[in-house]
Amino acid sequence: MTSPDLFNNHVAIQWCPGCPNFGILTAVKKALAGLGLKPHDVCLVSGIGQAAKLPHYLQCHFFNGLHGRAIPAALGIHAANPQLTTLVTTGEGDCYGEGGNHLLHAFRRNPHITVIVHNNEIYALTKGQGSPTTPAGEIRSLHVQGVEASPLNMLAVAVAHRCPFVARGFALDPDALTTLIMEAVQWPGLALVEVIQPCITWGRHPLDWYRERVRPIPQTHDPTDQEAALSLLLKEENRFMVGCFYKNDTRTLFGARFRQRFGDATLALSAFPSPERTLELLQEFRPAPCT
Amino acid sequence: MECTMVIAGSAGEGIQTIGDVLADTLSSQGYAVFTWQEYESRIRGGQNSYTIRVSESPMNAPTVEADIFLYLNREALEKYSQRLKAGAILLGESAASESSIVVPFKDLARSVSGRTIYANTIAMGALAAVVGVEQAALEKVLTKEFAAKGDEVVRANHKAAALGFDHALQACRDRCPWTFPKKEKAYYLISGNEALALGAFHAGCRFIAAYPMTPSTGIITYLAKHWEKAGVFCEQAEDEIAAVNMALGASFAGARAMTATSGGGFALMVEGISLSGMTEVPLVIVLAQRPGPATGLPTRTAQGDLLFAVHAGHGEFPKAILAPSDAEDAVHTMCRAFHLADQFQIPVIVLSDQLLADSRFSIENFHLEKAVRRSFLADPKDFTDYKRYAFTETGVSPRLSPGQGPHLVTADSDEHDEWGHITEDLVVTAPSMHAKRLKKISFLQKAMQPPLAYRTEDAEDVFCTWGSTKGAALEAVEALRRTGARVGLLHWSELWPPPVAALPERVRLWAVENNATAQWASLMALGYGRTVDKKVLRHDGLPLTAHDIWRAYHDLA
């Protein structure tokens, strides 16, 4: 266990004062410290949006790339250096909209990284348009008579594809969120943590409206039971249910075969192959020896 | 002795195997072989051709007209009838003219196995007899080719090849002048894609992500096949956007990383090129060109994406464009690409094309010792307070990789300060950071290698070429010189920013390109203030040949 203060920096935060994103930031710092990690052990990867600015607000390595592209960048980083603890901080527009395809394929690949999705059900930075999780019927700036499309239920999609760790947290309960993120980071495989993050600027409800609705997953739920997890997630009335829905530690990890052969060492450039090694590979292109 | 063989047939009839095995056999006899292929974008059917050019010393350029034409069906003969030299030997199952050698491939195949699956091996044996290679040499290559399928398959192939060989030998007595007896010479016979992949390996590349797209796929295919020996992490991405961002992630983490694609995939990667420019994360992209726009002619060749590559990426930032000309150059160009990407922390685009990608070249020596390889990663011990985007004299900031030490490494697609944090300071930070990146261009330009100048000293006409047309242009210069024409060649393998070069004065400059709009000529105007006088352009999906240049010279000079 290290101190969460280790992760503090002095960068001025651009979020709206009072934004629940601050609760997520606190939880990320506490979780990393709780796992005994130091800033240089951690690489945060993000795309674009308010959530994607999170890596700037704590001390660590970070790659703040393009809209929707956090997951492929994180895969590249993780492939090259699996010793880093790699997390993606993203919003639902970034991760489920612009980058949805990458998340689907991350379910297949199963890299040992944690994806934290700040879900405010809205495009906040571009001033209040509907997002992939906006409830149908909600009036938004580009949907003046209400959003027609249905919201994505990505946690159900994740469970359907046996994503190894699928959870939902609540930004206004940073302590519980800290515990969830700690478990997610440690879990061997892809962890998807969707966080209910009410938008205090463009949202339709006061924060208490969310506090009244958020409730834990029943203690009787067995998170290793895929069908039970799916059945919880498919019920509309459970959309404010928080905790870990699904856990699975049986799947092959991204890069397992490569790492079994070459170990966990970084692929960072340290030496060049000797000309002899290249010549050895070139032998294949020599004509068959004639005798 | 030189000879061009064209093997034509439908996809699925085995022309690739016939061509590869024949090429390997001639190579094993000590001859220089060059092959090129043109094929339709389908798995079965259509009509495709595989051309083998064999000579005493390397002639790594395409020829079109056949001395020997092997056709596996009648439609192939009709489609390619214009590719026959006067007096060409035709080899097929049925007589097409007086000069036909008839070998009933399928009937003979049935006599071997009761089925027609060995028909292509019979055709292969027949072709070997016509071109005059020893049967034993063919058998050795067949053994190697089919070893993995077991002794029985090898034996059946030997039997089939012998049948075809004997049959053709009887028929071609006194009519076939060619003979390629064993010589004490050995060339590597390697495709452009394989050479690009090996060049990446030699340059220290440890990560490639790519989405399959013809004609670039051979690069990741080679590396994936040899992943254990080469130690390259190969990932098939879900799309080209993912591929380029994965490569950037791996590169950020310190690995030399690349991706490869063709025009349509490259279009999707463009945001990643801009990201590389902004984050100053080195990136190498191979862009194997084929004719566009859009899906275009997926399996054909072109040099039509040069200006696209030069202008790829929103915003203003330095990038380098290279274009290897043959397999040896491909190895060295990949080393250069990684070197420049690392040295200047920029995206580098390597322009290949279908001709380079699929052709097999004969290379005597790769001169690997000439490849300049150097790491530009900084030493964490040199810093107490590390700033990833520190302002420097050259605009290049010391680069560390995350995990190298206690220092924190950042990358930001937003405009940022020296630590990599978002800035909105339009007075000092943002303009300084923009200027820092642009400062690298002048240093990069000085590092670019000048064009090859060949026989330009007394030339009146100078062909200006880039990339895969080099072989054809060199051959055209030689041929025209033999007739007394004072022609020379300027050939660029490094294109952008245009390397410093003194172009010859008082000569006529010729744009010689595999595109419709003379794209390099427009960059020459930009870079050197010189306008070309004549243009030789081919843009029908087929490679530009020495013959095209020769003919254009006679028509236009």
Q: SS3 sequence, B21-70?
A: HHHHHHHHCCCEEEEEEECCCCCCEEEEEEEEEEECCCCCCCCCCEEEEE
What's the gap in Å between the CA of A268 and the closest CA on chain B?
Answer: 4
Domain assignment present for residue A42? The answer is yes
Sheet with strand B3-11: strands edge to edge: B100-102, B84-92, B66-71, B3-11, B45-55, B32-38, B360-363, B188-191
Closest chain B CA to residue A273:
B202
CB atoms within 10 A of CB A85: 20
Residue B139 C-alpha from the chain's centroid: 30
CB atoms within 10 A of CB B398: 18
* Number of folded domains that form chain A: 1
Q: Are the C-beta atoms of B342 and B206 separated by less than 8 Å? A: no
Span B169-191, average pLDDT: 91
Residues 321-380 of B with CB under 8 A from A: 342, 366, 368-369, 373, 375, 377
Residue of B193, B246, B283 to mutate, testing the A interface (most A Cβ within 10 Å of its Cβ): B246
What's the gap in Å between the CA of B226 and the closest CA on chain A?
Answer: 9
Closest chain B CA to residue A47:
B413
Q: Which burial class, exposed, middle or buried, applies to B375 when counting CB atoms under 10 A from its CB (0-12, 13-18, 19+)?
A: middle
Residue of B145, B326, B421 to mutate, testing the A interface (most A Cβ within 10 Å of its Cβ): B421
Q: Are the C-beta atoms of B510 and B534 separated by less than 8 Å? A: yes
Best CA proximity match to B387, nearest among B283, B280, B315, B282:
B280
> What is the pLDDT at residue A291?
43
Q: Residue B209 and residue A76: Cβ atoms within 8 Å? A: yes
What's the gap in Å between the CA of A290 and the closest CA on chain B?
Answer: 7
What's the gap in Å between the CA of B55 and the closest CA on chain A?
Answer: 15
Span B24-51, average pLDDT: 95
φ/ψ region of B204 (left if φ > 0, alpha if ψ in -120 to 50, else beta) reads left
What's the gap in Å between the CA of A286 and the closest CA on chain B?
Answer: 5
Domain assignment present for residue A137? The answer is yes
CATH code (residue A95): 3.40.50.970
Statement: residue B80 has pLDDT above 70: yes
Statement: residue B400 has pLDDT above 50: yes
- A181's CB contacts (< 8 A; 6+ apart) are A27, A28, A31, A114, A116, A169, A193
Q: Which burial class, exposed, middle or buried, applies to B384 when counting CB atoms under 10 A from its CB (0-12, 13-18, 19+)?
A: exposed
The pair of three-digit structure tokens given for residue B104, joined into one six-digit string = 């009933």
Is the ipTM higher than 0.90? The answer is yes
Domain that holds residue A65: 4-264
Q: Which residues in A lie closer than 8 A to residue B30 (C-beta atoms)?
A: 287
Flag the least confident range among A67-71, B144-148, B242-246, B493-497.
B144-148
What's the gap in Å between the CA of B146 and the closest CA on chain A?
Answer: 13
Tens digit of each residue's pLDDT (9 = 90 or more) over B287-316: 999 999 999 999 999 999 999 999 999 999
Residue A8 C-alpha from the chain's centroid: 21
Candidate from A255, A266, A279 with C-beta closest to B254: A266
Alpha-helix residue ranges (DSSP H) falling in B320-428: 327-344, 354-358
Candidate from A64, A73, A281 with C-beta closest to B229: A281
Rounded distance between C-alpha atoms, residue A256 and residue B283, angstroms: 25
Tens digit of each residue's pLDDT (9 = 90 or more) over A94-129: 999 999 999 999 999 999 999 999 999 999 989 999
Q: Are the C-beta atoms of A41 and A85 separated by less than 8 Å? A: yes
Interface check for B115 against chain A (CB to CB < 8 A): the answer is no
Span A258-263, average pLDDT: 98
Domain assignment present for residue A103? The answer is yes
> What is the pLDDT at residue B94?
87
Residue of A15, A40, A53, A63 to mutate, testing the B interface (most B Cβ within 10 Å of its Cβ): A63
- Per-residue DSSP letter, A150: P
Averaged confidence pLDDT in chain B: 96
Residues 224-243 of B with CB under 8 A from A: 226-231, 233, 235, 237-239, 241-243
Long-range contacts of A10-15 (CB under 8 A, 24+ apart): A11/A56, A11/A57, A11/B421, A13/A57, A14/A50, A14/A53, A14/B422, A15/A50, A15/A53
Domain assignment present for residue A26? The answer is yes
Candidate from A66, A266, A279 with C-beta closest to B368: A279
Domain assignment present for residue A271? The answer is no
Interface check for B271 against chain A (CB to CB < 8 A): the answer is yes
Q: Are the C-beta atoms of B44 and B10 separated by less than 8 Å? A: yes
> What is the pLDDT at residue B1?
83
Residue type present at position B395: G
Per-residue confidence band for B322, with pLDDT thresholds at 50, 70 and 90: very high
> What is the pLDDT at residue B95?
84
Per-residue confidence band for A289, with pLDDT thresholds at 50, 70 and 90: low
Candidate from B136, B248, B403 with C-beta closest to A76: B248
Domain assignment present for residue A273? The answer is no
Q: Residue A39 and residue B408: Cβ atoms within 8 Å? A: yes
A·B CB contacts under 8 A: 219
- A195's CB contacts (< 8 A; 6+ apart) are A24, A116, A117, A118, A119, A168, A169, A170, A171, A177
Q: Which residues in A lie closer than 8 A to residue B336 (C-beta atoms)?
A: none
Q: What are phi and psi of B68, to 5 degrees?
A: -130, 130
Interface check for B187 against chain A (CB to CB < 8 A): the answer is yes
Domain assignment present for residue A279? The answer is no
> What is the pLDDT at residue B405?
87
Q: Are the C-beta atoms of B167 and B126 separated by less than 8 Å? A: yes
Q: Which burial class, exposed, middle or buried, applies to A57 when counting CB atoms under 10 A from its CB (0-12, 13-18, 19+)?
A: buried
Domain assignment present for residue A60? The answer is yes
Rounded distance between C-alpha atoms, residue A124 and residue A99, angstroms: 17
Q: Which residues in B lie closer than 8 A to residue A81 (C-beta atoms)?
A: 253-255, 401-403
Per-residue confidence band for A51, with pLDDT thresholds at 50, 70 and 90: very high
Alpha-helix residue ranges (DSSP H) falling in B318-401: 327-344, 354-358
Per-residue confidence band for B225, with pLDDT thresholds at 50, 70 and 90: very high
Tens digit of each residue's pLDDT (9 = 90 or more) over A89-103: 999 999 999 999 999
φ/ψ region of A222 (left if φ > 0, alpha if ψ in -120 to 50, else beta) reads beta
Closest chain B CA to residue A274:
B202
State the residue for tokens 């880039």.
B466
> What is the pLDDT at residue A288?
62
Rounded distance between C-alpha atoms, residue B479 and residue B446, angstroms: 34
Query: How many residues are given for chain B?
Result: 557
Interface check for B305 against chain A (CB to CB < 8 A): the answer is no
Tens digit of each residue's pLDDT (9 = 90 or more) over A136-191: 999 999 999 999 999 999 999 999 999 999 999 999 999 999 999 999 999 999 99
Q: Which residues in A lie closer than 8 A to residue B386 (C-beta atoms)?
A: none
What's the gap in Å between the CA of B439 and the closest CA on chain A?
Answer: 23
CB atoms within 10 A of CB A241: 20
> What is the pLDDT at residue A34?
98
What's the gap in Å between the CA of B316 and the closest CA on chain A?
Answer: 17
Q: Residue B254 and residue A73: Cβ atoms within 8 Å? A: no
Q: Residue A66 and residue B271: Cβ atoms within 8 Å? A: yes
Q: Residue A288 and residue B140: Cβ atoms within 8 Å? A: yes
Alpha-helix residue ranges (DSSP H) falling in B132-202: 135-146, 151-172, 192-202
What's the gap in Å between the CA of B242 and the closest CA on chain A?
Answer: 5
Residue of A45, A105, A270, A290 to mutate, testing the B interface (most B Cβ within 10 Å of its Cβ): A290
Statement: residue A193 has pLDDT above 90: yes
Going from the N-terminus, what domains does chain B have, and what CATH number goes with each? 3-172 (3.40.920.10), 190-370 (3.40.50.970), 377-447 (no CATH), 452-556 (3.40.50.920)
> What is the pLDDT at residue B215?
97
The partner residues of B89 in beta bridges, in order of sequence, read: B68
Tens digit of each residue's pLDDT (9 = 90 or more) over B85-117: 999 999 999 888 777 899 999 999 998 888 889
Candidate from A61, A261, A267 with C-beta closest to B228: A261
φ/ψ region of A128 (left if φ > 0, alpha if ψ in -120 to 50, else beta) reads left
